[in-house]
Structure 1
Amino acid sequence: MAQKMMLYWGSGSPPCWRLMIALEEKKLQGYKHKHLSFDKKEHQCEEVKALNPRVQLPTFKHGDLVVNESFAACLYLESAFKSQGARLIPEDPAEQALVYQRMFETDNLQQKMYDVAYYEWFVPEGERHESALKRNKETLVAELKLWDGYLEKMGKGSFLAGKDFTMADVVCFPVIAYFPRFHCPKEKCPRLMEYYEMVKDRPSIKASWPPHWLENPEGPDTLKNL
């Protein structure tokens, strides 16, 4: 079945990475894939344009079905291959609700991290306002504290939505992985960093680790002064 799948992806992209983790968890190794460079704008190739009107990655095709939003593609894989590999969405409605809650909260964490990182990367130094950067950092620290509280409440050794690895972890881990890579101080999110250390060696995550992170394990110190 995996041979009928095609994934266009970019290294280090959280949406691409989460879909690759889901494919590994559902035992769908052997799918066709094409690694495209964002820096070289290879993702704007005609192959992607023909499948994805937004010309974004991931672009995912299974037979004649095209699913380009990473959350939708991950949920599709769980539904289509429910009895294969890891069960990523629990049966219990209350447990499902928590998984979905953490999944969709991931966008908040990711956007607040981007607000800090992108401000320093892309706003020219002469146009920066310290008050804006300070506000972005304070908002991100508050978000990290919130996630730390979630893990604290569930207890040591817990995953993001309970005792089992679920779609919440599939979706959120690629975002969380940026915090140690960007040298976020551990004291800002100690529980989240404990979670990172617990999950980073999971086979599905190791198998899909961004290639350029393997080549350059040390990322920029963007969050050093958070």
Structure 2
Amino acid sequence: MLTLYSFGPAANSLKPLLALYEKGLAFTPRFIDPRRFEHHEDWFKRINPRGQVPALDHDGHIVTESTVICEYLEDAFPDAPRLRPADPLAIAEMRVWTKWVDEYFCWCVSTIGWERMIGPMARALSDEEFEEKVKRIPVVEQQVKWRNARAGFPKEVLDEEMRKIRFSIDRLEKRLSESEWLAGDQYTLADICNFAVANGMQHGYADIVNREATPHLVAWIERINARPAAREMFARSQTEMPDRRPAPAPAA
């Protein structure tokens, strides 16, 4: 039995979610609502003491860290469609890209996301509510990030992160001008893990990710979105995820 705890089909949660659909594995999706801080509830911290998603439960054994989960699925289910090449050199090339997205690309995009989305949510809380929420976060670095988002990241930090985003986009565009997929001719975890961060940038960063400036990157994003597994993932997640709209205001 497989159960995946995630925020849904975006960012790090998208990686193992799409991998499960691509491999055709039966699993139970458990969507965690970040707006309700469900990942910091005691019941979830018993699953992952770090209070972070995604987390995979395979017959009672918990695997965490998004890229590690994807690699685990390759090892645990070798008869399912492969998302990792057979050739050692191709595997190494794939892992260069998964390592890069985890250590570089994801982080600069994440900071801008925290500034744009998490900051307003954090500032909407009273001081007392905010401190109560932060107290339940088990990872100190995440507590610091919440405080920075509430205060607003310094302009020099945001400027540097945008520089890194532009560098990342240029690197992806150059690579995709050379081959259909990031690790060569085969669609692999390199594509899934980078797509998890890049998907939607043609909207959120339309001034730098568009058909004129980055035609190969946009075409790659569209190719992955058009895959049957991606289409099924987005369609099913939309119906299976809990309603995340704000609760209606009480009547006067």
TM-score by length of 2: 0.73
Letter in 2 for 1:211: Q
Q: Alpha carbons of 1:125 and 1:22: their partners in 2 closer, same or farther (altered >3 Å)? A: closer
Q: Match for residue 177 of structure 2?
A: 152
2:193 to 163, 171, 190: 171
Judged with a 3 Å threshold, the aligned counterparts in structure 2 of structure 1 residues 130 and 167 are, in CA distance, closer, same or farther, namely closer
Distance in 2 separating the partners of 1:124 and 1:42:
19
Asked if structure 1 preserves the Cα contact closer than 8 Å seen for 2:8 and 2:31, the reply is yes
Match of 1:211 in 2: 238
Residue 137 of structure 1 corresponds to 162
Aligned mate of 2:99, from 85, 95, 104: 104
Distance 1:72 1:124 in 2: 28
For the residue of structure 1 that corresponds to 2:34, the secondary structure is coil
Distance in 2 between residues matched to 1:125 and 1:87, nearest whole Å: 42
SS in 1 for 2:46: helix
* Percentage of identical aligned residues: 23
- Residues 48 and 59, structure 1, Cα contact 8 Å, conserved in 2: no
Q: CA deviation at 1:182?
A: 1.0
Q: Deviations over 1:129-177 (max 9, x none)?
A: 54443333222212211111111222xxx01211111111122211110
Q: Hey, what does 1:74 align to over in structure 2?
A: 70
Q: How many residues align?
A: 205
CA change 1:44–1:131 in 2 (3 A) is closer
Corresponding residue for 2:247? none
- Structure label with greater radius of gyration: 2
Structure 1 counterpart of 2:59: 63
Note the residue ranges of structure 2 that are not aligned, 5 or more in a row.
120-147, 242-252
- Structure 1 stretches of 4+ with a deviation exceeding 6 A read 123-128
| Displacement after TM superposition at 1:70 (Å) | 1.3
Structure 2 CA distance for aligned equivalents of residues 166 and 127 of structure 1: 37
Check whether the contact 2:85–2:186 (CA below 8 A) recurs between aligned residues. no
Contact 2:67 2:193 in 1 (8 A): yes
8 Å Cα contact 1:141-1:188 kept in structure 2: no
The alignment partner of 1:76 has SS state of: helix
Quote the RMSD (CA, aligned, Å). 2.5
- 1:124 CA drift (Å): 7.9
